[in-house]
Amino acid sequence: MTVIKPHGVTIKATAHYLPERVVTNADLEKIMDTSDEWIVQRTGVRARHFCAEGESTREMSFSVLKDLLRNANIKPDELDLFILATVGAHMTCPSTACQILGDLADDPEFGHTNAGAFDITVACSGFTYGLNMAHDLMASGQYRNIAVIGAEHLSQYVEMTTRGRGTAVIFGDGAGGAIVSRSDNHDHGILAQMMRSDGAKWGELYIPEKARDIPEQTHNDEMPLGLMRMNGRAIFKFAVGTFGDLIQQTLDKADLSPADVDHYICHQSNVRILEACRERFGIPQEKMPINIDRLGNTSAASVPILFDEQVKAGRIKPGQKVMFVAFGAGLTWTSSLWQL
């Protein structure tokens, strides 16, 4: 049976927010046993932004949401749904997404909305999972505008000491997002998408809250509760293979070759992982942009921040094909190939 799409789906607006505070590798050298040379060689990171006191997932996401509404020129009551992807929800209940809509209601420029709102926890894959969900909900014909934001306050989960250097040097804070909207052009929308996980590997990257959260066989049991534990080497190995396979499988689904895609907006995990992938497919550097040198790994925020930067720089244009690709804790991996 042929499925007739009621309409197309488009990305109507993008935005991002970075905390003002910049922490360079030289700053880290002063507080832990590490070096600029080690960090650049192993990760590609030169600097990252960290939240200031009082700044968090909620404040960063609120700023992005306001910019998205302004850029898309839509009023709060025209927003039907808000999906917030983060590992840094403020409370178990309610969702940070609902709190942010509360902030919007208190803001005289915006005001109240009854848009649906919820958080999703998919770590670095979160924004791309959210984009796929928003697209398919939109395709149901029952929504007009959905905001998807990826926001992370990861500096709160790392320890700024030599003991914590395995994660402290990699991660950064930030937020980015997009408004997914109905389009009159039926050709606009997702050509192929994937959302996958391997729950057997969750212990490779996690943030334990209680002692019972820590698996018996753990690679690093020295970090205090509430801080991130990561088996970097295992994730690196996993990522190099999975990232490439994910791109290939997504291209196969859409019956496209690597050169048919105009831009690959990839999760900024480690420049070595991205380079390996670029070389495997012969993708030119300008089609797979990198900003991990300036921002570090911002988890769910990395894909939407990079996308917004490329859109604002005029490099991504309507009519082009863009593949979003991410992997992260869970372990999870995901892609979303769009005809813009």
Min. distance of Cβ 319 from ligand UT7 in angstroms? 31
51 is catalytic: no
Task: Return the residue nearest ligand UT7 (CB atom).
Answer: 232
Report in angstroms how near the CB of residue 134 gets to ligand UT7 at its nearest: 22
Catalytic residue among 16, 49, 267, 277: 267
Question: Helix H segments across the chain?
Answer: 25-29, 36-43, 57-72, 96-106, 126-139, 165-168, 232-254, 271-281, 292-295, 302-312
Q: Which residues contact 222 (CB under 8 A, 6 or more apart)?
A: 163
Q: Name which of 43 and 334 has its Cβ closer to ligand UT7.
A: 43
Question: Which pairing describes strands 81-85 and 116-120: parallel, antiparallel, or unpaired?
Answer: parallel
Which positions ≥6 away from 185 have C-beta within 8 Å? 8, 10
What is the token pair recorded at 60? 């960063």
Greatest alpha-carbon pair distance for the chain in Å reads 64
- Our CB check for ligand UT7 shows the closer of 28 and 283 to be 28
CB of 195 closer than 8 Å to CB of 253: no
Cβ nearer to ligand UT7, comparing 122 with 133: 122
Find the shortest distance in angstroms from Cβ 124 to ligand UT7.
4
Closer of 99 and 128 to ligand UT7 (Cβ): 128
The span from the CA of 254 to the CA of 191, in Å, is 6
- Contact positions vs ligand UT7 (CB under 6 A): 34, 38, 42-43, 124, 165-166, 169-170, 205, 232-233, 235-236, 239, 269-270, 297, 328
Shortest spacing between CB 127 and ligand UT7, in angstroms: 12
For the question of residue 220 being annotated catalytic, the response is no
Of residues 232, 307, 213, 310, the one with CA closest to residue 266: 307
CB of 230 to ligand UT7, least distance (A): 6
297 among known catalytic residues:
yes
28-46: b or e for each residue (b if 16 or more CB lie within 10 Å)? bbeeeebeeeebeeebbbb
Catalytic residue among 124, 132, 231, 270: 124
Q: Which residues are catalytic?
A: 124, 267, 297
